Amino acid sequence: MKLLAQIVSTVFQPLLMPSLVFYTYLFHVDNSSNLTEKGRSTVLLLIFLTTCVIPVFIVLLFRFTKVIKDLHMKERRDRYLPFAFISVFYILVTYLMSRQVWFSPSMAVIMISMTTVVISTNLITYFWKISAHAAGVAGWLGFIIVFTRIYSSGNTLFWPLVIAVMLTGIVIWSRLYLNAHKPSESLAGFVLGFLVCFSSVLLFV
């Protein structure tokens, strides 16, 4: 069970969530974008590279140079520099993408809300070890639920919703099983991610 928890915790890390969110939005919500199928795939690849691959590479670099003790960052102080870098990087990515003609206002709201979750998690981490995993996966769940409400017709969100609900439970379980977080820290992360992402789309899209 420990191996399973470690795999889940590693694969479904918070940095993967923006890619899952944009995949859901671009490919499961009709009229979400005027882009062609190839264009949507290109956008998704760009999101994956800038919000997941590059930040992961930097975290690996921090570990290689012994800035952090381990990749799981079990100690709160190990999270300070990586989380701060990722926050700044997400702000930069959001700004640069918002200047592109293909980046719709809805996409901007989605990206800004995810960046808000990242920054909030970073700030809270200086005082308390809130669960970034729970915040990330709950944000994805919040997006899907609000998408089903706003785009009530012409969407194929049933299975993404089922998967998101299951994955939310599994990811939070993995963090608790590994003693990476207390239940209160996971709950706080869930509430933060869900409320920010759900309310942002509900109010501004």
Q: Provide the pLDDT for residue 2.
A: 86
The mean pLDDT value for 145-154 works out to 85
Q: Provide the pLDDT for residue 93.
A: 95
* Top-confidence residue, 196 or 156: 196
Domain boundaries, the chain: 2-204
Per-residue pLDDT for 154 more than 70?
no
Rounded distance, CA 130 to CA 190, Å? 9
Give the pLDDT confidence of 32-44 residue by residue, as tens digits. 888 899 999 999 9
Per-residue pLDDT for 100 more than 80?
yes
Half-sphere exposure (CA, 13 Å, Cβ side) for 131? 32
* Angle 112-93-89 from CA coordinates, rounded to 5°: 100
Backbone phi, psi, residue 151, to 5°: -105, 65
Per-residue pLDDT for 185 more than 80?
yes
Backbone phi, psi, residue 70, to 5°: -155, 165
Q: What is the pTM of this model?
A: 0.93
Q: Provide the pLDDT for residue 77.
A: 79
Q: Provide the pLDDT for residue 27.
A: 94
Rounded distance, CA 95 to CA 90, Å? 8
Per-residue pLDDT for 87 more than 90?
yes
Q: Which two tokens stand for residue 59?
A: 């975290």
